[in-house]
Amino acid sequence: MMTDANPEIAISAKGLRKIYRGSGKAPAKEALKGVDLSIRTGSIFGLLGPNGAGKSTFINILAGLVMKTEGEVLVWGFNIDRNARQARASLGVVPQEINMDVFFTPKEALEIQAGLYGVPKSRRRTMEILTALGLDDKASAYVRQLSGGMKRRLLVAKAMVHSPPILILDEPTAGVDIELRKQLWDYVLELHEQGVTIVLTTHYLEEAQELCEEIAIIHEGDVVACEPTEKLIASLDSKTLMVTPLEALAAAPALGDFGAELKPDGRLAIPYQPSKAQVAEILERLSAAGVGVKDLSTVESDLEDVFLELTYRRAG
């Protein structure tokens, strides 16, 4: 079975379920509950969720490391059941755990990986990839001599040896300092500009908000949201008005339906829903309470607010 050279959808999951059978007294666990998800070719897609939400199970099913219970999954147009080899070859997966043979050099590790994927020696890009990830000066050092951040970049290098059209990054910057994180993302964004589809899981929500064009949030095996990033953030009908009073306050004033919190810096934080209230109404309440306003600003919701609303607060 052959597919289009550049399908419109890079990854498609329909009705994807995974049930881990229990053992002993441990009950069976449904890790994925009929997940429907489409990831557009050429996008940077964020897959977010709390620990145990099902993200790793989803990735491992794509990579052929976990057998699904039900559903259909296509990777680059290839069905993972009928065309498993082609589907796996379409992916480069950077795992969360650093697991590699410490007695090889980075250069040897990439050469072996390329051989496993059947890349002819004439088409291998070992030094090009190592240079792009800032590892060229460590090409002949043993992996055991590399720092944690360098090992994580080496995982990215190994994932790219066969030039896959899809790169999956599972917590790629965990434990990586700011400078190395920037270098890693510069390379990933360069790959994206070349047309590589990027799928990212991360606990750094500001990272996902800045990089991802579309985000899905998984909670307890269900996709509870999947929207373009800006639309997802806008869907949370919540803002906070930050007010600097003309005179210092000893306590937050009573503002009727609006709750107010007095911050240590003397400002008032007043949350409100733009769909139900206007700033002018809050200012009227402040005036009625005898609070003069020296300055004010509005704090918009961010991805962290959306994430908390859809996961932890829902669970509570």
pLDDT tens digit sequence for 59-68:
999 999 999 9
Instruction: Give the pLDDT mean for 255-284.
Output: 88
Q: Is the pLDDT of residue 47 over 60?
A: yes
pLDDT digits (tens, 9 = 90+) for 202-217: 877 888 888 999 999 9
C-alpha to C-alpha distance for 259 and 257, rounded to whole angstroms? 7
What is the pLDDT confidence band of residue 3, given thresholds at 50, 70 and 90? very low
What is the pLDDT confidence band of residue 2, given thresholds at 50, 70 and 90? very low
Q: How many CB atoms lie within 10 A of CB 151?
A: 19
Closest to 10 in 3D by CA, of 217, 197, 212: 197
Q: Is the pLDDT of residue 315 over 80?
A: no
Q: Give the model's pLDDT for residue 313.
A: 53
Q: pLDDT: is 118 or 149 the higher one?
A: 118
- DSSP readout, 83-108? SHHHHHHTEEEE-SS----TTS-HHH
Q: Is the pLDDT of residue 300 over 80?
A: no
C-alpha to C-alpha distance for 164 and 197, rounded to whole angstroms? 9
What is the pLDDT confidence band of residue 312, given thresholds at 50, 70 and 90? low
User: Which amino acid is residue 303, in one-letter code?
Assistant: L
What is the pLDDT confidence band of residue 301, given thresholds at 50, 70 and 90? low
- Which residues, at least 6 apart from 17, have a Cβ–Cβ distance to it below 8 Å? 30, 32, 33, 34, 35, 68, 69, 70, 71
Instruction: Give the pLDDT mean for 8-28.
Output: 90
Residues in the chain: 316
Q: Give the model's pLDDT for residue 224.
A: 87
pLDDT digits (tens, 9 = 90+) for 72-113: 999 999 999 999 999 999 999 998 888 788 889 999 999 999
CB 221 within 8 A of CB 53: yes
Tell whether pTM > 0.85: no
Q: Is 201 left (phi over 0), alpha (psi -120 to 50) or beta?
A: beta
Closest to 277 in 3D by CA, of 298, 263, 292: 298
Domains of the chain, earliest start first = 237-300 (3.30.70)
